[in-house]
């Protein structure tokens, strides 16, 4: 099975927790040919919505300029984790500084510790001082799991900066 076939099986057709538990297999895109990446991008553009963050994350990973307008259209209707995922995808595509503020503000509205943990790791991927400061604010979060993951996200961010 080639990378594109795995993309269809484990990415597009991944409705079960068993297939989704480890997050989107973004590394598949690195193993695709240029033609396969174009086909995958087309498939992702067809399914991107506010219902599933995987296509959003993938389009950002691919730095898909074709997705830019669609993602900007989805952004106002998104909340919490999805808003941060869309902002990060757009950041990867065109580095609009407003996206950093949108992601930080979205991180302030999330109540679920599990969503906040996912947001921490997304904030770290912006690799800018403003998101690092927001992560640092969460080091003393009342939920130990959130504060632990804030430390982990900061470590990842510092490793990338070296």
Q: DSSP readout, 91-111?
A: HHHH--THHHHHHHHHHHH--
| pLDDT tens profile 31-40 | 999 999 999 9
Residue 142 pLDDT level (bands cut at 50, 70, 90): very high
What does the pLDDT average to over 75-100?
96
**What confidence score (pLDDT) does residue 19 get?**
76
pLDDT at 42 over 70: yes
Report d(CA 73, CA 89) in Å as an integer. 13
The token pair at 87 is 């902002």
Model confidence band, residue 1 (pLDDT cutoffs 50, 70, 90):
confident
Q: Given this model, what pLDDT does residue 76 score?
A: 97
CA dihedral 142, 101, 58, 14 (to 10 degrees): 40
Q: State percent of the chain over pLDDT 90.
A: 82
Q: What is the pLDDT of residue 22?
A: 78
Q: Residue ranges of the domains in the chain?
A: 1-95, 110-162
| pLDDT confidence of residue 18 | 77
Cα 88 to Cα 16: distance, rounded to the nearest angstrom: 25
pLDDT digits (tens, 9 = 90+) for 108-123: 999 999 999 999 999 9
Please tell me the pTM assigned to this model. 0.92
pLDDT in tens, 59-75: 999 999 999 999 999 99
Question: Would you say residue 77 has pLDDT above 70?
Answer: yes
């Amino acid at each position: 099975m080639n990378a594109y076939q795995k993309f269809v099986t484990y990415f597009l057709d991944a409705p079960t927790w068993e297939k989704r538990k480890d997050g989107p297999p973004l590394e598949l895109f690195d193993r695709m040919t240029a033609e396969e990446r174009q086909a995958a991008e087309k498939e992702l553009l067809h399914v991107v919505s506010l219902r599933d963050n995987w296509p959003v994350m993938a389009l950002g990973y691919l730095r898909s300029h074709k997705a830019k307008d669609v993602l900007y259209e989805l952004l106002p209707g998104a909340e919490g984790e999805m808003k941060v995922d869309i902002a990060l995808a757009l950041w990867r595509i065109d580095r609009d500084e407003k996206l950093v503020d949108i992601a930080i503000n979205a991180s302030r509205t999330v109540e679920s510790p599990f969503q906040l943990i996912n947001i921490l790791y997304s904030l770290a991927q912006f690799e800018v001082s403003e998101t690092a400061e927001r992560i640092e604010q969460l080091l003393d979060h009342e939920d130990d799991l959130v504060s632990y993951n804030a430390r982990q996200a900061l470590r990842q961010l510092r490793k990338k900066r070296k």
